[in-house]
Every structure is written in structure tokens, then in C-alpha cells.
Structure 1
């Protein structure tokens, strides 16, 4: 939920997410295809709250969640619904982007959604009071870091690491970007791309969604239990990638 990259790779795009979480949190359920509402969705399931932080639907939409909107916030005592379940509510709709614009988020903790849909990429933020939407250039790579875990100067430093990595890997493979998510940084275990803060908060998994025109491939690696998983979801029709 806390570090996300987007890569356009010719006839496909790749969204990769590091989930930074309390290590005592229940182990996530490995990715599988499930019907949510009227839509088939491929996603790993949060065993504690029942939602997810990354997923792709049979309609060809891929999404990733980051905690926080623009700034680090003080969590409320309770919220109306978990962000992970809101994620599924949005992804299960015919258009996730339209669903984000329409959904009532009052009483929901701040978050950021990265939405890949119909060859468009949107950064959708909920501040806790207002929605903010930015259309991203789909021809360029992008990186996001959660504002709840990383200070602005660290976020800038991580963007610098990513730019330098792109210079070394101008035509990256899926393996290349996953290695960046595992080993990127400068030896600062608290703020590296794969982070660990006193074995209490750490990167617990790395998930990639490789979207082609007719299917998505999800690669999931549980870093705590050293388990890997690969699942595929066929789209109900051909969807544009570029």
C-alpha cells in the first residue's frame, strides 16, 4: 500500500506495489479470482479487514491503493468503512474512475488510488474532506510513496532513486522493476523501497499486475513467509493498452 510504480512497456503496462504494514497484522490471503458484486476481480485479500490494496477486474481496470491523501494525518478513532473495502466497491463498477468521482467518501480515512483504465492513468486522492484527480502521462514511468510513512524529503529522494534506476534500465523487464522494489535505495532500512523499521513495520509483500490487451498477470511475493504466487485473469473483451 505504500510504494507504487507504473511502467509503460510497449504492448503492456506494469503496476507494482510494495505493501508496508505492521508485521503483526494477519497474513494476507494469496491472490485469487472472486466475484464482487457483478464483477470478477483478481486480488490478494487482507485477512483482517476483508478488503485489498491492489487488484484488477475482468473489465481490464487495474488499481492500487496508498494510505493517505496529501499529508500525514492523525487517524480518527473509527471510520465508516475500511479503505480496502471501498477499493473493492470502486473496482467492481463498470468504470472505476467514474465510481471514484461519484462515491460518497465522508467518514472514510484519507487515501490515494492509482487507476489504470481504458488506456488512461489517473491519480485520485481523498483528503478526508475533498477529492482531487490528476490525469497522468501514460507514456512515462511514475512512482508514488505513501504520505503516512514517508516525509516529503524522503519521497523526493525515492523519486530520485527511481529516475536513476530508469537511466540504468531504459527498457526494463518485469524482473527488473521487481528487483527495484526489493533492493532500491541506499542502505537506509527505514526508508529504502523495501523497508523495515525495527521489525515492527516492514514491507511484507510485493505485487505486480502486468496488463495486456486480453488478460492480466498478477505476481505476488509474500516476503515474510517467502511464498510466491502467480494468477491470471482473462478480460471479457480486448482493452487498449496504449
Structure 2
């Protein structure tokens, strides 16, 4: 139950992520800077399971998780590992290729179905998909991406149609994208990007802005139709340099 959009700019991008959750889940911790595998990472924390659904690092790489409800495994008895740990696992990646290379090495059968989106400052991205049966990777996918635990095909189709009808694919306007994420079109319901149901709702909006100099994360702690984005949590962006002696980036 989430919606993610992004647009690419010179040497960077902006990404927007609505987190939709059941009312029974606890409030998340606000985004903070942590050090993971020697890399600075900005991420909120899911207080129910300790992981996260979005993380941006000093290289300008952002990793996001969307559940894949329509492909949930049948086994309801399994002691699943939290999918939020996957984001933490890959949040120190220096580039999209690092995640794509190691995705299939995860013990995927320990996780419920998910889609893992990764984007780097060049705009290159990939979507790592685990449908509960076989992994696959889609490269350079287009915005938006969405998930819903109720009537998924219908809801996702409406959100894509709204994105298209607003002409957002041709825009790089922060204001226009924020308006989309706060939208109640076609109605304030399970269908809207800012989602409202009796048992669940949009509980936060995360905005990541990557430039040549820095990585900033702003967070609305509540439904974006009401909650305002807080002050940015920023870190300096570190560029990768190709070292021909080791044929790798450093």
C-alpha cells in the first residue's frame, strides 16, 4: 500500500514516497543519519520490525520497498524475515549495479513477495522483483510505482491514469509532484494516492532530493493531505571515481 514517483534532473533526481499502512502499526521514527557498512545513510525506522521502507545514502543512491500483495506466498505459517531489512541491507550501495548483482543472492524464500526499487544520480534505476516463486530484475522502469492490498489492479491503474492525465511524466516540478501525493482524486478512499480506508491510510510522505552537492530527505509525519514536510535531513554527496588500476569505482 504505497505510491512512489520520481523525476530526473541534471546530476540528480527527486523522489516522492507515500507510505500506506494499517492503523494497527506503530508510528515510525523520523529520518536520521546512520552509518551502515561505512556509508552515511538517511532513513526513517519502522518501529514494529526495526527495518525501513526507504533509505538514501551519501552516493545519492535511494532504495525503496513496495510490497507485492498480489503475489503473496500461500504459506501463512512461515516465520518471515521483515522485508524492511532488505532496504537496510542494500542501503550502502554505491550504484544500481551493486544491488542488481547481489539481489539474487538473498535468501528470497525467507521473505514475502516484494519489489525493491533502486535509483542513482544519473537517473538509472532498477526494480528487483520477488513474486514468491522466481526473482527478476527490470531496468530503467518508469514512474509511478504503486501497491495496494485491496483491489490492486484497479487501484494501481487509477493512480497511473491520474499521473498521466496530470502530465507529470513531462514535468520536473516539486510542487506538482507533492500535489499528486496529497491528492484525493478520484475520491478520498482506497483509490486515491493519499489513501484513506477504515483499516489503513497513508501515514507519511518522504521526499528525497539529490543534487551534485548533497542528499536531502524531508518527511511528512502523517497523511500528506494534512501533514507538512519537516526540515530536511541532509548529508554531503560523495561522487564515485573510476579507478582504472582496479577497474572499479571508488
The residue that corresponds to 2:217 in the other structure is 218
Once the two structures are TM-superposed, the CA of residue 63 in structure 1 deviates from its matched residue by: 1.3
Greater C-alpha radius of gyration:
2
Normalising by structure 2, we get a TM-score of: 0.83
Kept after mapping to 1: 8 A contact 2:20/2:202: yes
The residue that corresponds to 1:32 in the other structure is 32
Give the 3 Å change call, closer, same or farther, for CA 23–238 of structure 1 in structure 2.
same
> Could you report, residue by residue, the CA deviation over 1:22-79 in whole angstroms, capped at 9, with x for unpaired residues?
1231111000101123322100111111110011112221111101166355573344
- Which ranges in structure 2 are unaligned for 5 or more consecutive residues? 242-250
Are positions 1:20 and 2:6 aligned together?
Answer: no
- Which ranges in structure 1 are unaligned for 5 or more consecutive residues? none
Are positions 1:105 and 2:100 aligned together?
Answer: no
- Number of residue pairs matched by the alignment: 234
Once the two structures are TM-superposed, the CA of residue 144 in structure 1 deviates from its matched residue by: 1.0
Moved more, 204-213 or 100-109: 100-109
The residue that corresponds to 1:135 in the other structure is 139
| Alpha-carbon distance between aligned partners in 2 of 1:227 and 1:77, rounded to the nearest angstrom | 40
Give the 3 Å change call, closer, same or farther, for CA 238–38 of structure 1 in structure 2.
closer
| Alpha-carbon distance between aligned partners in 2 of 1:157 and 1:41, rounded to the nearest angstrom | 33
Once the two structures are TM-superposed, the CA of residue 219 in structure 1 deviates from its matched residue by: 1.4
Give the 3 Å change call, closer, same or farther, for CA 194–166 of structure 1 in structure 2.
same
**Structure 1 segment 77-96 matched on structure 2, within 5 A:** 77-94=77-94, 95-96=98-99
Normalising by structure 1, we get a TM-score of: 0.86
Once the two structures are TM-superposed, the CA of residue 98 in structure 1 deviates from its matched residue by: 2.4
Quote the RMSD (CA, aligned, Å).
2.4
Moved more, 100-109 or 146-155: 146-155
> Could you report, residue by residue, the CA deviation over 1:88-118 in whole angstroms, capped at 9, with x for unpaired residues?
1122344233232432212111100111036
